[in-house]
Structure 1
Amino acid sequence: MLQALKKREHLKNVAGILIGFTLIIAGLFFTIWQLDIILTGCVWWEASPTGMGWAWYGPGAYARAPFQCFLWRTTIGRAYDTLLFLNFTLPIIGAIILFLSVWTWEE
Structure 2
Amino acid sequence: MPANIQRHRLCQTQVRRLLDSDKWSEIWDAELTGFHIRKTSKSASYRLSYRHPTTRKCHVMTLGRADQISLLEAREAAARTVSMLASQAMNHKVDTVLNQ
* TM-score, normalised with respect to structure 1: 0.36
Larger radius of gyration: 1
By percentage of residues, which structure has more helix?
Answer: 1
More strand by share: 2
TM-score scaled by structure 2?
Answer: 0.38
